[in-house]
Structure 1
């Protein structure tokens, strides 16, 4: 599996992982802002953006590919599906994670009997079927759903539509199925600094996650951003940048002192 990636900036290492149906271009100004203080590695997930489709899209294979192109040790930031993948990387290779920031990400995206703060299985199943029937229409609906309720919905929708990838249907479907992974044990086992940012109006990752996720890991810091939907790094760019920087500087400051 070959992944496209690029680096920009100088400083402590930082990896950004985007969400489903998009490319790393979605990070936009946030990546530029972070690159003023960090050496940022942007990665396109397999089959999305500039990364070629992969025959093996198992979670194990995707994590292997991410670790192959990522720095030996870095701060990781994952949005939506990217957050789940970052959790899996942390579980596989904890020594390579200095800190983890999850943005609008759920360790268990599809609801289980013991995990209600997630998307209902029947809703997820309907989305999978819709993708198979009409890829373009499904992607457009998905973009609209991500922005619903946000104070900056129009700008976010424009941003999403400019970044939505033109990918092979099978690549999109395979990447979508990664959202079914249950990574609660990965979050529970994390010992490095970890934070979760949620949008109060998010239609995909319920804000109620803020009350359940800390039970998995008491070290987890959670922030719910008002008037934000699924793209808080767009609607609340300055606030998200500050929170990311604060967590990473906490780690980098300890390292420097040591």
Structure 2
């Protein structure tokens, strides 16, 4: 069971999926720019927010299938960070959204011998161990890391400094997905219009990861902002909204 919340007066459906350790309310500051044009469905990942903790036990395929059952498919899908992975997996598995926006996301979050554009595996493993000892402190350190993008990022994260938004099991499962998932080989099957949003201020995802993902997709592109960090929909909402509007136009052409 996946919790969703739908609002807005627009005729076009839009789905928003959040990242690790957050929940659907992280998108609340962005909503005023969206709800006149779109009917917005915000999703809580398995074990996050109001989605049951029991749903976090599966792997990425199970997360993708559960989210797919809970959202409109004939819609523009947008995934932030970890939230991009189940949406990508759903499309690789046959879903056909109108278009796909990937905000500060990557097809492969963890470094590999042939993939330097990620987080070292040791860092993700250290976070897993930290969750066992002090889950709230570990989430707090992660959010502090996100704030390194700049003053705007730190301001956007202030309401979330010590606000747990997921069960311990869901946090571990999400980190395991970030560490183990590599969707590069499947991107050629993502044939809807797709855009990767990337910024030089992102402390986790280098622009090269998004650029690679865009090149690997038949209809992929990258939108780049020199001052955006890991929270572009909060720190640069007009830019993120422009990207949604451009994808919407492409999906109708």
> TM-score, structure 2 length as denominator?
0.92
Could you tell me how far 1:34 is from its partner in structure 2?
A: 1.5
1:90 correspondence with 2:91: yes
The aligned length equals 250
> Aligned runs of 1:143-158 on 2, under 5 Å?
143-158=143-158
Q: Is the 8 A contact 1:151 1:235 kept in 2?
A: no
Structure 2 counterpart of 1:126: 126
Structure 2 counterpart of 1:43: 43
Could you tell me which runs of 5 or more consecutive residues in structure 2 were left unpaired when the two chains were aligned.
none
Given the superposition, is the C-alpha separation of residues 211 and 6 from structure 1 closer, same or farther in structure 2, using an over 3 Å criterion? closer
The whole-number CA distance in structure 1 between the counterparts of 2:213 and 2:59 is: 25
Q: C-alpha deviations, 1:154-197, integer Å up to 9, x for none?
A: 312214337x4343312211122121211112322211100000
Could you tell me how far 1:211 is from its partner in structure 2?
A: 4.2
Q: Is the 8 A contact 2:139 2:164 kept in 1?
A: no
Q: Is the 8 A contact 1:199 1:231 kept in 2?
A: no
The whole-number CA distance in structure 1 between the counterparts of 2:156 and 2:43 is: 21
> Aligned runs of 1:131-142 on 2, under 5 Å?
131-142=131-142
1:165 correspondence with 2:164: yes
- Structure 1 vs Structure 2 CA RMSD: 1.7
Structure 1 counterpart of 2:213: 213
Q: Is the 8 A contact 1:3 1:51 kept in 2?
A: yes
The whole-number CA distance in structure 2 between the counterparts of 1:195 and 1:211 is: 10
Given the superposition, is the C-alpha separation of residues 215 and 250 from structure 1 closer, same or farther in structure 2, using an over 3 Å criterion? closer
1:99 correspondence with 2:116: no
Q: Is the 8 A contact 1:151 1:227 kept in 2?
A: no
Could you tell me how far 1:65 is from its partner in structure 2?
A: 0.9
Q: Secondary structure at the match of 1:148?
A: helix
Could you tell me how far 1:218 is from its partner in structure 2?
A: 5.4
Could you tell me how far 1:24 is from its partner in structure 2?
A: 0.6
Q: C-alpha deviations, 1:206-243, integer Å up to 9, x for none?
A: 12324433342253211221222110111111111111
Structure 2 counterpart of 1:226: 226
Given the superposition, is the C-alpha separation of residues 210 and 88 from structure 1 closer, same or farther in structure 2, using an over 3 Å criterion? closer
The whole-number CA distance in structure 1 between the counterparts of 2:94 and 2:208 is: 29
Q: Secondary structure at the match of 2:223?
A: strand
Could you tell me which runs of 5 or more consecutive residues in structure 1 were left unpaired when the two chains were aligned.
none
Q: Is the 8 A contact 2:128 2:172 kept in 1?
A: yes
